[in-house]
Amino acid sequence: MARDENTNERLKAERKEKILNGSLKLFATRGLAATKISDIADACEMSQGLVYHYYKNKEAIFNELIAHALNKMIEACLWLEAQELPVAQKIHMAVDGLLTLMQQKPENAYNYLLIAQASLSEAIPEEAQQLLQEKTPLPHEIMGRIFALGQEEGSIKPFPPQEQALLFWTTLKGLALQKAIHGATLQLPQTSLITGMFLKETYEPKPDSN
Amino acid sequence: MARDENTNERLKAERKEKILNGSLKLFATRGLAATKISDIADACEMSQGLVYHYYKNKEAIFNELIAHALNKMIEACLWLEAQELPVAQKIHMAVDGLLTLMQQKPENAYNYLLIAQASLSEAIPEEAQQLLQEKTPLPHEIMGRIFALGQEEGSIKPFPPQEQALLFWTTLKGLALQKAIHGATLQLPQTSLITGMFLKETYEPKPDSN
DNA sequence: GTCTATATCCAGATAGAC
DNA sequence: GTCTATCTGGATATAGAC
């Protein structure tokens, strides 16, 4: 009995997962209003009715995606902050990591694209709007703390850390958008061009010594 | 006779203008699909039917707005390029000018917001899509030329000019978005923080000497 | 030119068979 | 759980009076 229920639960979760995966790209590239449930059903290779079996409506799917994207972003920031490294190296890592991610798996940028879409549109569900308002500041604050620390260390330029954090995110998000839209065509800039906004001196990663 | 026709033409043009003005904000902040004709009619304080008297449909309005926004952007670039000034000063002027514009009249950022909305959504009319594809590269090329010139002059950092142009635009567009969304709340960064990406040394504007 | 009323269409959501 | 068929609502677009 209990086993069957567990299996069912798992299957249900997998289905929901499938719907989320299928709809992420659609919402991210077309927006909420322009994405039809029938599009989602097609993308997931299931019937329109079945989508409603798992989600109450279109907004519910959208909200869950937003929540997920925001959480991933915050997690990544916290992870970065927790690393025991000089700030210059952290910034380099963060920028380089994000650029590489965009380069290799543009679909990983869909989360950013989704957030961008959502935050620049007023036509989104109440719940998503609240989530955004509540959680967007966090990544900014965390990066602000990191920049402030870097100024104490002496490696970061002496601008207000909050401004630096703002610029950090707008720049990276902007690039993620460009990349997600133009795909392979777009040649992303090199890491040090971006880090040059923040670092007094270019951080030179040590060559691997093995 | 001819005078009446002229007057009519002018009135007609004014009406169309009114519709464009009213719908720009809506399209920019909500997107094409989420903007209803009735919203536009309300914003322009005219009836729904009258909107259709001047424009065939929603897409026609949208297309005209996109064309207009792109042209303004290109004009601004060409103007900048034509100035006879050291490149360092041009870059400073451009960034400073755009930041000031966003600060003082956020609604002037709607054009950028519209373009951003449009370019990150695949759900836009064929015509708008073509316009974007055709005309978006121009501002990038122009800024690329300016950066290349600056490298000859020795004031610009030796990164590939195209990468610099890309970064220039994504950063400024990104800020325009943030500003348009968060309005007065958002404190924009200072000019030199951004120009630091490009300039070898901070450009110090000469104090007015009158 | 401008409005109101209405036709048409299409997407969201539900019902019910399997 | 999954599908097909259907209902319903709302938005686009048109018709026609003034």
- List all residues 6 or more positions away from A102 whose beta carbon is below 8 Å from its beta carbon: A108, A109, A175, A176, A179, A180, A188
Q: What is the pLDDT of residue A3?
A: 58
Footprint of strand C on the protein (CB under 7 A): A 35-38, 48-49, 52, 56-59; B 8, 11-12, 15, 46-50, 53
CB A173 within 8 A of CB A106: no
- Which of A29, A110, A120, A187 is the best substitution to test chain B (most B C-beta atoms within 10 A)? A120
- Tell me the C-alpha distance between B154 and A143, whole Å: 33
The upper half-sphere exposure of residue B52, i.e. CA atoms within 13 Å in the direction of its Cβ, equals 7
Q: Quick one: how far is CA A128 from the chain centroid? A: 15
pTM of the model: 0.93
Confidence tier at B209 by pLDDT (50, 70, 90):
low
Check residues 50 to 79 of chain A and report those whose beta carbon is under 7 Å from nucleic acid strand D.
50, 53
Which residues on B lie below 8 Å from A167 (Cβ)?
171, 175, 189, 193-194
Tokens 């065509």 map to which residue? A185
Q: What is the pLDDT of residue A62?
A: 98
- Which 8-state DSSP code applies to residue B184? G
State whether CATH 1.10.357.10 applies to domain A59-195: yes
CB contact under 8 A, B177 and A164: no
CB B106 within 8 A of CB B167: no
CATH of B2-195, one of 2.60.260.20, 2.30.30.170, 3.30.420.480, 1.10.357.10: 1.10.357.10
Which residues on A lie below 8 Å from B29 (Cβ)?
120-122
CB A143 within 8 A of CB A87: no
- Which 8-state DSSP code applies to residue B185? G
Q: What is the pLDDT of residue B6?
A: 82
Backbone angles phi, psi at B100, to 5 degrees: -60, -45
CB contact under 8 A, A193 and B122: no
- List all residues 6 or more positions away from B156 whose beta carbon is below 8 Å from its beta carbon: B87, B88, B91, B147, B150, B164, B198, B199, B200
CB contact under 8 A, A30 and B173: no
Taking the CA atoms of A12, A16, A21 and A26 in sequence, report the sign of the dihedral they define: positive
Spell out the alpha helix ranges (H) of chain B: 2-30, 37-44, 48-54, 58-82, 87-104, 110-119, 126-135, 137-153, 161-182, 191-195
- Tell me the C-alpha distance between B202 and A96, whole Å: 25
In this structure, the number of other CB atoms found within 10 A of the CB of residue B154 comes to 10
Q: Quick one: how far is CA B42 from the chain centroid? A: 25
Written as one letter, the residue type at B112 is Y
Backbone angles phi, psi at B156, to 5 degrees: -105, 140
Structure tokens, B43: 């914003």
Range B139-153 average pLDDT? 97
Written as one letter, the residue type at A179 is K
- Tell me the C-alpha distance between B54 and B35, whole Å: 18
Per-residue pLDDT of chain A (210 residues; tens, 9 = 90+): 555 678 888 889 999 999 999 999 999 999 999 999 999 999 999 999 999 999 999 999 999 999 999 999 999 999 999 999 999 999 999 999 999 988 888 777 899 889 988 988 899 999 999 999 999 999 999 999 999 999 999 999 999 999 999 999 999 988 988 888 787 888 899 999 999 999 998 888 877 654
pLDDT digits (tens, 9 = 90+) for B172-194: 988 988 887 787 888 899 999 99
Q: What is the pLDDT of residue A146?
A: 98
CB B170 within 8 A of CB B93: no
CB A193 within 8 A of CB B197: yes
E strands, chain A, where? none
pLDDT digits (tens, 9 = 90+) for B154-166: 999 999 999 999 9
Backbone angles phi, psi at B8, to 5 degrees: -55, -50
Structure tokens, B176: 């325009």
- Which 8-state DSSP code applies to residue B106? G
Backbone angles phi, psi at B206, to 5 degrees: -70, 135
- Tell me the C-alpha distance between B8 and A181, whole Å: 43
- Tell me the C-alpha distance between A3 and A115, whole Å: 38
- Which 8-state DSSP code applies to residue B109? G
Q: What is the pLDDT of residue A1?
A: 52
- Tell me the C-alpha distance between A125 and A129, whole Å: 6
- Tell me the C-alpha distance between A106 and B50, whole Å: 44
Distance, angstroms, CA B16 to C1' D16? 23
Q: What is the pLDDT of residue B17?
A: 96
State how far the alpha carbon of A46 is from the alpha carbons of A42, A49, A80, A154, in Å.
Answer: 6, 8, 39, 56
Distance, angstroms, CA B148 to C1' D2? 61
Q: Output the DSSP codes for A144-168.
A: HHHHHHHHHHT-B-SS-HHHHHHHH
CB A186 within 8 A of CB A179: yes
The C-alpha angle B130, B78, B106, rounded to 5 degrees, equals 75
